[in-house]
Structures are given as C-alpha cells and as structure tokens.
C-alpha cells in the first residue's frame, strides 16, 4: 500500500513537473497574446476602443485552435520581452522580426507574415526615393526591423540624421510636421497612415531596398512543445487559406510568400 | 514564473557604448542646470521687481513648470513647437524641456531661500548707498545660493534622471536612448536596463557626495 501511495505521489509530482507552457495554457483556458496596438493594420483600436487587426485575428485563431479564450494584451514594441519574461503574456503576436540576434533570447516560430518596406516622405522635403534620403533627417519606430536597418544605412551614408520615435503615430506626426524628411516603414503601415488623412503633406514615394522583413510568433526559448505547436499552426493557417483570407481582409493586394527560395525553412 | 537566463557578457560587451551615452546624459543635465540656474535667478529677480508684468511671467513659468509632467514639457518642446513650424532636434528639445523644468523648480527653491534671509540686510545695504540691483547681487544672492545649494543638488539629480524622457522625442544618444536601442537589437532587456540603472545610480550618487564635499568646504562658518 505504501509503495502504491509513493508511486501515485511520484506520478502526480512527475506530471506537475512536466507541465509545460502548452499544458499551462490549455489548463488555464486563456491564451494571452502580446499585440502591438499602435501598428495598423496589424494591430490598432477601432472607434469603440476594441483591438482590431491582422495580429488580433491571428491571436484569436490561435486561441480557437487551442480551444481556449484569447486575451489581447496591449504591448508597445519595446516592452515585448519584459511582457513575455514576466509571465504577463504567453505568446507574442506582435509583428516581430525573427533576427538571429533576438533568437538568442526568445524562441521564434516559422514566419507568419512578411513585410516589404516603403519610403514615405514629407512633400516639401525633396525626398523622392530611398537613395534621395541620403543626408536628410529620417526616422522610424524604435526597436523595429526597419529602424535598425535604416540607422545602419544612415551610418553607412555618413551624413544625415536618424531619429527613433517610440510609436508609429509619433513618427508620422514628426513627418507631417516636417521634423522628419522621410521615414521607412512597412508598406502596409505606410499606406494605412497616408490614407487615414490624419497626417497631411506626406506621400509614399517608393520601396526601400531592405531584405523582406519576415515576422514570427515568439515565446520562451525553451518551450519546444509550444514552439512546435506554433509552427504547425502557422503552417495550417496557410494550408487552409486563412492566411490569404486575413491578408485580403486587412491588407489587400498580392499575398507575400512566407518561404525563402532554395532553403529548407 | 520568471524563466530567464541572464547573459551578462552580452550586456557588458555594450558597456563602452552605454558609457558614451552616459557622457551625453551628464552633459545635458549640466547644461540644463547652468542655464536653469541663470533663468531661475532672473525669474526670482522678476518676482522681486514689483513689476506686474514681470512677476506675472515668473509666476506663470513656475506654475507650468511645477504642475505639469516633465514628459509633457519635453514633448511640447518637440511636437508642440513643431506644429508651429519650429523644429528643434531631439537634443535641443530635451535640453529645453529639462531647462524649463529646472528653472521653475529652482526659482521656487530660491524664493524659499530668500525668505530665510532677513529683510533688514537689504535695507542695511540700501542705506549704505547700494542700488537695489547691487544690494541683491552683492548681499542677498550669495547667501541665497548658499542656502539653496543642496536643493540645487536635488534638482541636478532630477535633471539627470529626466534625460531618460528624451526617448519620447527621438533622442537616442543619451544613456537611456542608447540602452533602448541596444534592447531592440538584442532583446537583452533585463541585463541592459539593470546595467543602465547601475550607471544612473553611480552618476547621481557621485553628484550627491561631490556636492556634500563641496558644501562642507565652501560653506564653513
């Protein structure tokens, strides 16, 4: 009897010890997603202050697949990692570029979205293309892929100035006021902000020749079980046509391929 | 729940860049204090002048500087003036915002210090034939600065910490801005900000201890 009890206790403790994040989410009944809500059309708030956008829908789909409730946790770009590490969120659905540098800290899924970069300029700045940004005052949202790439480019040009702002809204405000001559942002964000009419005097003038910015879901680096699930989920979203559907709903136009030619993953 | 492996080496590798940022932070804080003290003396003079317009200007300045967030003041220096077509660089906006704040608080410190100096001293100086400006400059001002010296140290510490608000206006060369940039690059949030916090602490502690030593030497009676 005692041996049986010990065995039962061992089994119980073993099953507790082996509960990983995936188990925790299923058990808790809630999936908490870090979503950036200052980044239309990926994440924003509608007139009733409800979270909307591609990332919001994506989080809801993931929660539905897991059979749990979804909870959108608004997370500005610089706070994605603290939010994850302090256990406030389970997964980041936050248009996060999967750089090798960052992958040393967090675990990325396969890409779930891909951005192309566009140059938007102030009409009186004389910037008409990526190259003509040389020597100008340019800016982007701190902590984003395009900000890192643009700052490197400004340093390489050796003239002009780079300014990171904390939110996409501040970048377009600064651009509209003429504090910035031009910005590089994802083309989806650029189109959405120019169209919004909130920022007069700015125009999308062309593409930025940066590599395609693949963005991935992320979670704790050691949560292989959950990362596996995320990979399969992203794959299924594409397989079932849901990716195209969401792309048409929020962005429109040609659906970018999420695979890299001549590579396995 | 906190599962995170600290990689201090990655943060320490960035220490030289962060220390360069710390120099910019100290530079801004010092400049904002020097200009702030000059402005505060001017504002205090305005208040004493008895001129309605001048003391009105001083009172408005002090009210706004002390009763609105420093973040708001810096944001207004950048985007507020920007909407009128006056475009200040992030550095200038931050310096202007903090200086504005410093001047307001220091003017209030100076007012308190003035109250500690008996009126009779001014009257005595005036009866010796000094002009009002001279009496203020030669008799009252030195005593006022002495009494307000330690509160000024507080303001200096505050100015150093306020430089971290520069990120809202696109500042990326000060300590906080540099740290935020590195964070975006590496996602080593905790190590980098812990390191930045230690640097901030060391700077402000040095200021405090330094000020105490200076005060002990200069203000012996």
DSSP string, A59-81: HHHHHHHHTSEEEEEE--GGGHH
Q: Does B83 touch chain A (CB under 8 A)?
A: yes
For residue A160, give the DSSP letter: S
Report d(CA A256, CA A262) in Å as an integer. 16
Listed as own residue / partner, the contacts of A15-20 with beta carbons closer than 8 Å and 24 or more positions apart are A20/A223, A20/A225, A20/A226
Which residue matches tokens 């490197």? A152
Cβ contacts (< 8 Å) between B169 and chain A: which residues? Answer: 165
Which residue matches tokens 């780079």? A162
Beta carbons of A85 and B189 less than 8 Å apart? yes
Decide: A108 and A150 in contact? Cβ < 8 Å: no
Beta carbons of A81 and B3 less than 8 Å apart? no
**Number of residues in chain B:** 221
Residue range of the domain that includes A93:
20-114+214-250
Is residue A3 situated within a structural domain?
A: no
The pLDDT of residue A187: 85
Type and span of the H or E element at B132: helix B132-135
Which residue matches tokens 């729940």? B1
A165 and A34, same structural domain? no
Is residue B171 situated within a structural domain?
A: yes
**Number of residues in chain A:** 265
Is residue B162 situated within a structural domain?
A: yes
Decide: B3 and A220 in contact? Cβ < 8 Å: yes
| Chain center to CA of A201 | 28
Beta carbons of B1 and A86 less than 8 Å apart? yes
Beta carbons of A178 and B85 less than 8 Å apart? yes
By Cβ distance, the residue of B4, B180, B188 closest to A142 is B180
The pLDDT of residue A3: 65
Secondary structure of residue A222 in the 3-state scheme: coil
A123 and A103, same structural domain? no
The pLDDT of residue A9: 58
Burial of A3 (0-12, 13-18, 19+ CB in 10 A): exposed
A184 and A231, same structural domain? no
Is residue B4 situated within a structural domain?
A: no
Distances (CA, A) of A215 to A86, A99, A106, A146, B103: 22, 9, 13, 12, 46
A109 and A26, same structural domain? yes
Decide: A103 and B134 in contact? Cβ < 8 Å: no
Asked if pLDDT for residue A14 goes beyond 60, the answer is no
Predicted TM-score (pTM) above 0.95: no
Decide: B181 and B166 in contact? Cβ < 8 Å: no
Give the pLDDT band of residue A19 (cuts 50, 70, 90): confident
Mean pLDDT of chain A: 89
The pLDDT of residue B19: 96
A166 and A56, same structural domain? no
Is residue A159 situated within a structural domain?
A: yes
Beta carbons of B87 and A179 less than 8 Å apart? yes
The pLDDT of residue B66: 95
Q: Regarding predicted confidence, which is higher, B176 or A6?
A: B176
Is residue A265 situated within a structural domain?
A: no
Distances (CA, A) of A85 to A31, A43, A100, A113, B193: 15, 22, 19, 23, 14
A121 and A110, same structural domain? no
A169 and A52, same structural domain? no
Beta carbons of B172 and A142 less than 8 Å apart? yes
Is residue B178 situated within a structural domain?
A: yes
By Cβ distance, the residue of A143, A161, A162 closest to B184 is A143
The pLDDT of residue A1: 57
A48 and A30, same structural domain? yes
By Cβ distance, the residue of B10, B170, B184 closest to A148 is B184
Is residue A198 situated within a structural domain?
A: yes
pLDDT per residue, tens digit, chain B (221 aa), is 566 788 898 889 999 999 999 999 999 999 999 999 999 999 998 988 889 999 999 999 999 999 999 999 999 999 999 888 888 999 999 999 999 999 999 999 999 998 899 989 989 999 999 998 898 889 988 888 889 998 999 999 999 999 999 999 989 899 999 999 898 888 888 899 999 999 999 999 999 999 999 988 887 76
Is residue B125 situated within a structural domain?
A: yes
By Cβ distance, the residue of A80, A102, A220 closest to B186 is A102
Report d(CA A41, CA A191) in Å as an integer. 9
Asked if pLDDT for residue A118 goes beyond 60, the answer is yes
Decide: A203 and A123 in contact? Cβ < 8 Å: yes
Q: Does A101 touch chain B (CB under 8 A)?
A: yes
Number of domains in chain A: 2
Decide: B173 and B46 in contact? Cβ < 8 Å: no
Q: Measure the CA dihedral A43/A47/A48/A49, to 10°.
A: 40
The pLDDT of residue A105: 87
CATH number where A246 lies: 3.40.190.10
Is residue A143 situated within a structural domain?
A: yes
Report d(CA B64, CA A56) in Å as an integer. 40
Q: Does A160 touch chain B (CB under 8 A)?
A: no
Mind telling me how many Å the CA of A164 is from chain B's nearest CA? 5
Instruction: Using the 3D structure, point to which of A207, A237, A259 is the last residue of a domain.
Output: A207
Give the pLDDT band of residue A254 (cuts 50, 70, 90): confident
Beta carbons of A85 and B2 less than 8 Å apart? yes
What pLDDT, in 10s, does the model give residues A137-188?
999 998 888 998 999 999 999 999 999 998 888 999 999 999 999 999 988 8
The pLDDT of residue A210: 87
A108 and A142, same structural domain? no
Is residue B2 situated within a structural domain?
A: no
Type and span of the H or E element at A203: strand A202-207
Q: Which of residues 5-64 of A touch B (CB under 8 A)?
A: none
Q: Does B21 touch chain A (CB under 8 A)?
A: no
Is residue B1 situated within a structural domain?
A: no
Is residue A5 situated within a structural domain?
A: no
Residue range of the domain that includes B53:
10-218
Mind telling me how many Å the CA of A101 is from chain B's nearest CA? 5
Number of domains in chain B: 1
Instruction: Using the 3D structure, point to which of A154, A178, A207 is the last residue of a domain.
Output: A207
Q: Does B104 touch chain A (CB under 8 A)?
A: no
């Amino acid at each position: 009897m005692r041996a049986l009890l010990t065995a039962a206790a061992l089994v119980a403790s073993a099953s507790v010890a082996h509960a990983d994040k995936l188990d925790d989410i299923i058990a808790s009944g809630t999936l908490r997603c870090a979503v950036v809500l200052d980044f239309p059309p990926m994440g924003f708030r509608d007139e009733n202050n409800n979270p909307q956008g591609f990332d919001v829908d994506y989080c809801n789909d993931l929660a539905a697949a897991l059979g749990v409730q979804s909870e959108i946790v608004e997370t500005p770009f610089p706070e994605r990692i603290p939010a994850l590490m302090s256990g406030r969120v389970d997964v980041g659905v936050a248009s996060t570029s999967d750089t090798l540098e960052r992958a040393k800290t967090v675990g990325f899924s396969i890409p779930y979205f891909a951005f192309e970069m566009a140059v938007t300029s102030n009409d009186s700045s004389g910037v008409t293309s990526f190259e003509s940004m040389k020597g100008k005052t340019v800016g982007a949202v701190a902590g984003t892929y395009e900000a890192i790439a643009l700052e490197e480019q400004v340093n390489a040009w050796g003239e002009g100035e780079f300014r990171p702002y904390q939110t996409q809204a501040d970048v377009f405000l600064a651009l509209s006021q003429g504090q910035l001559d031009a910005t590089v942002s994802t083309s989806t964000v650029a189109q959405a902000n120019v169209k919004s009419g909130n920022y007069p005097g700015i125009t999308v003038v062309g593409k930025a020749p940066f590599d395609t910015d693949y963005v991935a879901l992320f979670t704790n680096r050691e949560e292989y079980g959950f990362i596996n699930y995320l990979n399969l989920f992203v794959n299924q979203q594409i397989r079932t046509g849901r990716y195209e559907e969401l792309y048409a709903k929020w962005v429109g136009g040609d659906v970018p391929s999420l695979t890299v030619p001549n590579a396995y993953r | 729940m906190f599962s995170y492996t600290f990689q201090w080496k990655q943060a320490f590798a960035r220490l030289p860049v962060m220390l360069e940022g710390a120099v910019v932070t100290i530079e801004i804080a010092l400049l904002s204090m020097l200009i702030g003290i000059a402005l505060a003396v001017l504002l205090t003079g305005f208040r004493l002048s008895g001129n309605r317009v001048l003391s009105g200007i001083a009172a408005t300045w002090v009210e706004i500087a002390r009763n609105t967030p420093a973040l708001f003041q810096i944001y207004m220096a950048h985007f507020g003036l920007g909407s009128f077509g006056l475009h200040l660089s992030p550095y200038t906006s931050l310096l202007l915002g903090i200086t504005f704040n410093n001047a307001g608080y220091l003017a209030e410190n100076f007012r308190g210090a003035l109250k500690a100096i008996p009126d009779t001293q001014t009257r005595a100086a005036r009866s010796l034939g000094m002009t009002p400006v001279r009496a203020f400059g030669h008799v009252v001002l030195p005593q006022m600065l002495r009494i307000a010296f330690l509160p000024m140290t507080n303001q200096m510490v505050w100015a150093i910490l306020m430089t971290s608000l520069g990120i809202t206006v696109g500042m990326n060369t000060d300590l906080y801005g540099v740290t935020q940039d590195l964070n975006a690059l590496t996602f080593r949030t905790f190590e980098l900000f812990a390191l930045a916090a230690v640097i901030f602490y060391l700077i402000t502690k040095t200021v405090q201890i330094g000020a105490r030593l200076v005060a002990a030497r200069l203000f012996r009676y």
